[in-house]
Amino acid sequence: MRFAVDTGGTFTDLLVEDGKGEIRMYKAETTPDDPVRGVLDALGLAGKDIGLGQREMLEKGELFIHGTTRAINAIVTGNTAKTAFLTTKGHPDILVIREGGRSDMFNFKEPYPDPFIPRSLTYEVNERISFDGKVLEPLDEKAARTILEELKAKKVEAVSVCLLWSIVNSKHEERLGELIEQYLPGIPYTLSHRINPSLREYRRASSAAIDASLKPLMGAYLGSLERRLREAGFKGRVLVVTTQGGAMDALAMADAPIHSINSGPAMAPLAGRFYARQDSSAKDAIIADTGGTTFDVSLVRDGRIPWTRETWIGPVYRGHMTGFPAVDVKSIGAGGGSIAWVDQGGLLHVGPRSAGAVPGPVCYGKGGTEPTVTDACVVLGWIDPAFFLGGAMRLDRDKAADAIMAKVGRPLGLDLHNAAASIMRVATENMVHAIEDITVNQGIDPRGAVLIGGGGAAGLNAVAIVRRLGCAELVIPETGAALSAAGGLISDLRAEQSATHYTSTASFDRDGVNRTLAALDAKCQAFIAGPGAGSIEQIVEFTAEARYPSQIWEIEVHLRKPRFDGPADIETLRQDFHAVHEQIFAIADTKSAVEVVGWRASVRCRLRDTERLTIVQPKGARGATSKRRVFFADHGLVEAEVHRFEALPSDHRISGPAIIESSFTTVVLDPGASAVRRPSGSLAITPH
């Protein structure tokens, strides 16, 4: 058996795949004080449903794949470890200056943001290595020992190290690592040339600082997860999804926890690509994952999941950069738990604050007082209060109505239904703007794309979203309510290797480049023989980080071969760079030489043959069609048919207004829209 778990802000999603390839889906409330407890609660629900008992079920498990937002939450809330930063003398402001940009260059009232590690914990080390690897000034070990003694006195919990040009000669960083182990035994540390051997100091320093600061927290969390799973009976392999959309062993993740940032949201594009290929012929796909706290949107273009090298935690320039390429996912505070509020000027807002799992929406009856998107959907009749989570949780419509009227209706002079509809309209606009930011603003026309709706709240306003965007097609997968967990179930083992070696196509260092690529390939082959042993397929891809002369930033160009055998291969690289540059910037200087700064190798090991994700119909699934009165802003109260998602036969078409619900999600079919159940199990919706 295989288990895939995504711990969200409100619910913990679990998919269980048995030996026959059949999948069962479960949801349990997230427990912020102890997320592992929420995972075990979900496993308990699964064991009870399957009839094996939790221990007996876990003993049959061979793979446990986990996605978590614990790392990003710790950074955003400032709950990382007390971390010191060691750097070359004369360069203590790497983390302060960042990359020198300003989000609003004319706003001088905006306070300068604090660095990730304060100056009080930043120390300058006497040493210097030149760009060609020569030692200009030896490491002053006596001064370094004095610094480490001071860190011990300050009770520092982690140490990050970034010395100039350590990517060319790592001798001084390695020695500092040895001294840290000697004078600060048991204190985790990160060396920049190991975690991120990239050219730019800020990105490398930021990677080291963030990674080190997460090691105590994530080491304890992942250690607790693995230990408690073992105690519960699991004997298989524990994997954690990375920000690159792959997976790695939990203990390896604990040693490099920066890869766990956004591990949960990074899983949705994997599932989105799978369902786009299965259920649509559209060239591009928009993946919209609507959870209880956030709305995550990503893309699939020509079957590829776009990556970004500009991964900022917080606002651009003012936040902190991870320094790593990652799956390009945009997140906003808009989900089922997003709070609706009216400002002093009488404008209605939805989010970014969320009721989360505790206390949750008002209708949960757990102490929440602020109206949310979920409360609005209950009032509109879209969500059945008696059938939330398949009836496991009963919602209080009256409390939701009272909160909406008190906080939205009366302040805006609206009746109950129009106040609730206004909340949904604003939430929809927020989501549309997030999608436009990742499509229209990048030159992509959403009208030609299919929207894959995922997350427990995806179907509530998905039809309204695609109508605003002009998309011709909407697909809600059968596993859509746990889309990220589904992505984890089909994820591959993945590792990224990188190296810096400068050259130009005008005077190409073929031998040096081939040595660099061979070294990267050797690391990939070691990964295949180690963590990837037993995988059913292994794929190694190489890319070059290239630019035109005098350009500041590089773009990635995929290499057609892992080696350069002659002038023809060099010219192919040059032409491929021109093509990629023109695709991105609509211009190319085809007569120019191309500079290459860095080289990357990506290795993927497939763990399962993914042809179909087959959901087992839950026990007690209701197949009968019923009716209830629901409210739509442009139509008022209407009589809508209510269908059970799992019970819909293939090729059966439904016309709106209608509600299609399961134990885990509700799909609202607005008047004028139609839906059909595909043989794959997905719900394909035509919005007009």
Domain end marker among 606, 635, 654? 606
pLDDT of 28 reads 86
Q: Is residue 249 part of a domain?
A: yes
pLDDT digits (tens, 9 = 90+) for 192-248: 999 999 888 999 999 999 999 999 999 999 999 999 999 999 999 999 999 888 899
Residue 575 has pLDDT above 80, yes or no: yes
Asked whether residue 205 is domain-assigned, the answer is yes
Q: Are 236 and 183 members of one domain?
A: no
Closest CA to 496 of 238, 310, 162, 244: 244
Alpha helices in 61-140 (DSSP H): 70-77, 94-97
Looking at the fold, whether 502 and 577 belong to one and the same domain comes out as yes
Does one domain contain both 351 and 402? yes
Per-residue model confidence (pLDDT) at position 354: 85
What confidence tier does 104 reach under pLDDT thresholds 50, 70, 90? confident
The pLDDT assigned to 611 comes to 61
Domain count within the chain = 4
pLDDT at residue 588, rounded to an integer: 95
What is the rounded CA–CA span in Å between residue 67 and residue 259? 11
- Which residue among 581, 606, 631 closes a domain? 606
Residue 147, both tokens: 């610094």
The closest of 451, 446, 458, 461 to 483, measured between CA atoms, is 458
Residues 17 and 39 in one domain: yes
Q: What is the mean pLDDT of the chain?
A: 90
Tell me how far CA of residue 58 lies from CA of 55, 238, 675, in angstroms: 5, 12, 38
Q: Which helix (H) or strand (E) holds 27?
A: strand 22-29
Range of the domain at 504: 494-606
- Identify which of 261, 425, 277 has the alpha carbon closest to the alpha carbon of residue 331: 261
Nearest residue to 192 via CA among 176, 516, 246, 244: 176
Is residue 474, in this structure, part of any structural domain at all?
no
- Of 178, 198, 214, the position where a domain reaches its end is 214
Q: Are residues 198 and 242 in the same domain?
A: no
pLDDT of residue 544: 96
Decide if 122 is inside a domain. Answer: yes
Which H, E and C letters describe 146-164, residue by residue?
HHHHHHHHCCCCEEEEECC
CATH number, domain with residue 197: 3.40.50
**Exposure of 483 by Cβ count < 10 A (0-12 exposed, 13-18 middle, 19+ buried)?**
buried
Q: How far apart are CA 116 and CA 101, in angstroms?
A: 16
- How much is the average pLDDT of 111-140? 93
Is position 192 within any domain?
Answer: yes
- In this structure, the answer to whether residues 141 and 233 fall within a common structural domain is no
> Cα–Cα distance between 670 and 678 in angstroms, integer?
19
H-helix or E-strand spanning residue 314: none
Regarding whether 26 and 99 lie in a shared domain, the answer is: no
Question: Among 84-88, 334-338, 651-655, whose mean pLDDT is lowest?
Answer: 334-338
Determine the Cα–Cα distance for residues 55 and 224; give it in Å rounded to an integer. Answer: 17
Q: Could you tell me if 135 and 243 lie in one domain? A: no
Q: Can you tell me the distance from the alpha carbon of 467 to that of 522, in angstroms, rounded to the nearest whole number?
A: 50
